[in-house]
Amino acid sequence: MVSPFTGSGITLSYVSYHMPGVVPSERLSARRRIVRLCVIGDSPDVRRYAVALVAQGHQVYWLASTEALRTLHNEAAQLTVATDVLPATCQYVVPVQTYHYEGIRLVCVDQEFWQHPDLHTRLFTYISLFQRALPCAVLHTWGPWRIAYLAIYTARFLAVPAVLSYSSQLVSARLEQPFLWDWVVRQVAAVIVSSLAEQERLLALAPLALRQVHVLDPMQPHLGPTLTALYARLRAATS
């Protein structure tokens, strides 16, 4: 594989999912099962997805930067310091602050480790140790480009399916780094877009099948159940 640690400006964002043995027809019973997810990134959509999944009864970890923490403070969000969030193996890999927030287990990574490329191997190690301590089955990543690339590379390393939430921020990657763009879209198990128009544009830019590109508006009322069904389908396809 092409290492993600040779470029610059890497940050990351993904969702990890754990729900063994679930198929799409079991959507209602799936909502009653213990599901562990981990979302990483500062995009506003990450918060929407995490809140929607918590509402389904899932256990959600959100890894973000300390800059995102300041944004949450500015919004007068209810943050409670937490000391029981991280697995023991993850406590000293990178400096973090941990909180409970709207039912989410929030882990804020020190801004230096979040931004500087020479420290991103530590984040890669962090994700790998987290996966080992709390096994997950699907990695879901948001942009920008280096976020998506590193998360999909990590999914390949961990041998789990990867989901990409696509946005216009990723368009420049096809022009600036066509080799890596082609590699990413060939490794991803599913792509989420917010509209039919965006789906059409993406299919014209990438070697993806229509069945791989899912239209999902993050503002829709059934976001949580729809995501649960998608993750379950991907899990069933690889089990």
Kindly give, in sequence order, each residue whose CB lies less than 8 Å from that of residue 70, ignoring residues fewer than 6 positions away: none
- Tens-place pLDDT, residues 102-161: 999 998 988 888 888 788 888 889 888 998 898 877 888 886 687 778 788 888 898 888
Tell me if 161 is assigned to some domain: yes
Tell me if 10 is assigned to some domain: no
**Number of domains observed in the structure of the chain:** 1
Q: Where are the beta strands (DSSP E) in the chain?
A: 15-18, 36-40, 59-65, 79-81, 96-101, 104-109, 138-142, 162-165, 190-193, 213-215
Tell me if 1 is assigned to some domain: no
Tell me if 9 is assigned to some domain: no
- Tens-place pLDDT, residues 57-110: 888 888 888 888 887 777 656 888 998 888 999 888 999 999 999 999 998 988
What is the model's pTM?
Answer: 0.79
User: Is the pLDDT reported for residue 20 higher than 80?
Assistant: no
Question: Distance (Å, rounded) from C-alpha 130 to C-alpha 115?
Answer: 20
Tell me if 8 is assigned to some domain: no
- The domain in which residue 34 lies consists of 15-238
Beta carbons of 236 and 229 less than 8 angstroms apart: no
CATH number at residue 86: 3.40.50.2000
Question: Distance (Å, rounded) from C-alpha 231 to C-alpha 138?
Answer: 7
